[in-house]
Structure 1
Amino acid sequence: MEIRTILILVVLAIVNALISLWMGQQAYTWFPPQASAESILIDDLFSFLVTQGTFIFLGVIGTLSYSILFQRAGKYDSSDGPPIEGNVKLEIVWTAIPIALVIWIAGYSYQIYDQMSILGPMEHVHTIAAAHAARLETEKKAATSENIEVFARQWSWEFRYSNGTGGNVTSTELHIPNNRRIKLALHSEDVLHGLYIPAFRVKQDIIPGQTIDFEFTPIREGKYRLRDSQYSGTYFASMQTDVVVESPEAYQQWLADAAQQTPVAAYNPASAEYNNRSSNNWQTVEPAAPPVVNYSSSNSQASDS
């Protein structure tokens, strides 16, 4: 291969790499704000995948475009091509490179999952060994974790708090302290549900008959949206609520204030829609009774909704 051709390929590869790195950085802007320690890890992984995907895409498209424009046969050339046999070196190269890429992606993805450690000890045995993992470990030890029970049903969320000065408190809006390790015990009372908070980049299926331990660490105060990621029936689109991340002091004050309120049946959009349906509508599953809670979710919009 001529030196000139080699230099051209090297320059094109460098340009491709620079464009791919730029696209990888742009990928950070495609998501809601990073509101949990886990979101940083997930965004880093996604940026890595976008960078690799862009490099491969441009490389393949560039090669095809060059072949179509400059290596095609003449207009009236209907002759057969030269009888070229297989190239062993080329076969090894284009087999080894994809295998190496797959192993690299799989290894890095598992490392990110391992660092997140979002499942409890019964579901996931983890070892922590990287930069972001050290940050997560520090946050885990910074203060006592908050333990909250989550009950999912058709079609409402209910949260029960056992920590804090406020005693036992129930709500349909998830309140959590900032920079504390949050431990959720997930329960489903009927069908398969999914706890999904886009700003936290965490999602977990909630399986009937099982208690699933789920952990994350919020790092940004604000109001975010929690949605049911699984189709759980007719009114599942209404099964969403707010997640309020506040300072530990404000969280403790909220617990104390909520504990003083008399539990009442919370407003439930699914029940309201079901009760207001036309008499000639088709038969459907009746929503579960609205949860009786100290604090009901507000109707204000979250920052990532």
Structure 2
Amino acid sequence: MPHLPDFEAWAIFAKVAEKGSFSLAAEELGLAKTTVSKAVTRLEERMRTTLLHRTTRKLSLTESGRSSLERALRILNDGEAIEAEILEEAAIPRGLVRLASTAAFGVQTLAPLLPEFLKRYPEVELDFHISDDKLDLIADSYDAIVKVGQLADSSLRATRLFSHRLPVVGAPAFFDKYGRPEHPEDLLKMPLMVYTHIREAQDWRFFHPVHGEHLVQVQGAIRMNNGMAAVPLLMAGLAATLQPEVYIWNELRDGRLEEVLKEWTLVPVPVHILTPPGRARPARVRVLMEFLRERFAQQPWAHGIER
């Protein structure tokens, strides 16, 4: 099997020829002079020819050196251009961001923020994918995925954006009809809604500052796989449920929905942004993350972030 060309040695040779000196080339490349000299010698041995005439006073190109210099310079220049472009990309928000999110959160919470982001960073392009299917950051080549809920162990980089509460809510007329529960067990006497896309969705694990933990296993008269689609059914007085506060903040504030069992709480739901493993994030992804944290910090339903 043929070996790869020695691109590093060709680039060093081009720099030596350009500067006419091993010392000057080494200084510009940030390498030791012996490293530069060994690279050229290695290349000559590989090519079985001499590329440079060396004397104590100066260097000059051999015929083989002259014939190969143009292409060697192209290797050097292309390599420098690639690095410069990537470094610039890392510093300046520019280029395409492929972002994905679950459907309800993407439509209700993310989508309204994106126009402001794109106006702020006009050189950033956006490919926004919304789906309740399982999303694969690496296989599907996303730059970032916004994930609602607890995370599985993985090598992906996860940055928490915020957390939100899961209050028990229903229409005031619903609780007028079925009564306002004083204990989580009272919920079993009324029609409830369960989300089918959540693992162990029927297990409602409550915590109380005095009475401790209490698990209620509910059966849903209504089953849904989308939090936003549930809101009209709740407001119609057909059921009560655990509903992410982010989706019903306005309805709670206006009294169209009512929260019960306020002293009994559930573990807040975290929202993370996932990015591929590795230290460096492109500027276009960094500014998106910073923008989302900034905007979420302004929301009354977002908890657990610096404001």
- Scaled by the length of structure 2, the TM-score of the pair is 0.23
